[in-house]
């Protein structure tokens, strides 16, 4: 069971004290992998993926039977600066589309055999424009973290979190700039497709926001509060809950990984339970994955968000586990082992 998330200090403590993978399960998985009817290493990263998953699930022969996809939606005051090619009301419209089953993530979740839920966070009350003040109060941040924290099904055996929020590549870029340094331009991309003038404006907005909140740099929680958004915080809350519950996470794109970066800044090893589902077409995502130490499973030019790349990568994870747990050993198959 998950403990209550009473305050931000508790969140930091729970993340810092989160359990490690099960070592006997890791050893059992490695041992089993060495006995399967294939040459050593022949399945490449699928072998490593299966062993990693086994450690978090606490069994040397795991199954994937209850994948969960959660999409969080929020609106951002910084869109008043003109940083997006689409108006904020699209967030509300897309939430309705998710709920009706009409979005790409609905199809991808269904194809992966995953349950999917959608959580809209105060869409009629955007966060504060972070160029004028902190995006959220401490109470607002805690509420958003709790939304994610409690949205995770303790019976899930793998989690994908996604987002919807017009303009949210801007706070994601600001988070990365504040956490990792460098100029704002190196972290700011075109998002939904702004033109050159829009990109220059967006970069300036990110730079001004990071400068205003320079005292928060490096503190994952404060950076998230001052520069993030409710849906970004909810993703962080869900990923943290999964860490506490030993539920493996498949990361989605740039915005999801920005939320994950806030957790990494809070506690070393906070993302040990996570793999990168894909590398998106958003310009800075490859650099962000590098900072997180994650190699993507897929690179397909996706730039949709919604959890789409993570849900698609569930198929790779399920294939890895199917091979690991379903293949026969040399002894079981009566096949002679090589010297």
- CB distance 161 to 307 below 8 Å: yes
Point out the catalytic residue in the list 306, 332, 337, 339: 306
Is residue 282 flagged as an active site residue?
Answer: no
Q: What are the distances in angstroms from CA 58 to CA 35, 55, 136?
A: 19, 5, 38
- Name the phi and psi angles at 69, rounded to 5: -120, 130
Residue 274 makes CB contacts below 8 A (sequence gap 6+) with 239, 248, 249, 250, 251, 260, 294
Report helix, strand or coil for 212.
helix
Report which secondary-structure segment, H or E, holds 250.
strand 249-251
What token pair was written down for 205?
């907005």
Question: Which residue in the block uniquely carries the two structure tokens 């700039």?
Answer: 177
Residue 188 makes CB contacts below 8 A (sequence gap 6+) with 169, 170, 173, 177, 199, 202, 203, 206, 283, 284
DSSP H helices, the chain, are 8-16, 23-35, 45-57, 89-100, 104-111, 138-151, 169-180, 196-212, 220-227, 230-245, 254-266, 285-292, 308-326, 330-333
What token pair was written down for 308?
């789409």
Maximum pairwise Cα distance, the chain: 70
Instruction: Report the catalytic residues.
Output: 306
């Amino acid at each position: 069971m998950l403990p209550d998330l009473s305050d931000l200090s508790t969140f930091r403590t729970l993340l810092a004290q989160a359990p490690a993978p099960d070592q006997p399960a890791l050893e059992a998985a490695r041992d089993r992998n060495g006995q399967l009817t294939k040459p050593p290493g022949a399945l490449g990263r699928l072998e490593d993926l299966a062993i990693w998953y086994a450690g978090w699930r606490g069994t040397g022969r795991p199954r994937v039977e209850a994948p969960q996809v959660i999409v969080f939606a929020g609106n951002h005051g910084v869109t008043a600066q003109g940083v997006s090619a689409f108006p904020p009301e699209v967030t509300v419209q897309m939430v309705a589309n998710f709920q009706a089953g009409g979005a790409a993530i609905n199809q991808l979740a269904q194809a992966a055999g995953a349950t999917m839920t959608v959580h809209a966070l105060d869409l009629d009350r955007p966060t504060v424009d972070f160029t004028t003040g902190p995006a959220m109060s401490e109470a607002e941040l805690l509420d958003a973290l709790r939304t994610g924290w409690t949205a995770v099904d303790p019976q899930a055996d793998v989690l994908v979190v996604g987002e919807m929020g017009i303009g949210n590549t801007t706070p994601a870029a600001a988070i990365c700039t504040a956490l990792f340094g460098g100029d704002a331009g190196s972290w700011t991309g075109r998002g939904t497709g702004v033109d050159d003038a829009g990109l220059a404006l967006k970069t300036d907005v990110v730079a001004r926001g990071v400068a205003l909140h320079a005292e928060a740099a490096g503190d994952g929680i404060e950076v998230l509060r001052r520069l993030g958004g409710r849906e970004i915080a909810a993703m962080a809350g869900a990923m943290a809950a999964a860490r506490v519950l030993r539920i493996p996470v498949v990361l989605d794109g740039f915005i999801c990984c920005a939320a994950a970066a806030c957790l990494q800044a809070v506690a070393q090893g906070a993302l040990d339970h996570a793999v990168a589902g894909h590398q998106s077409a958003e310009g800075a995502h490859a650099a962000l994955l590098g900072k997180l130490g994650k190699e993507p499973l897929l690179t397909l030019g996706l730039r949709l968000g919604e959890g789409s790349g993570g849900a698609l990568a569930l198929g790779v994870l399920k294939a890895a586990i199917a091979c690991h747990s379903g293949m026969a050993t040399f002894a079981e198959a009566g096949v002679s082992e090589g010297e």
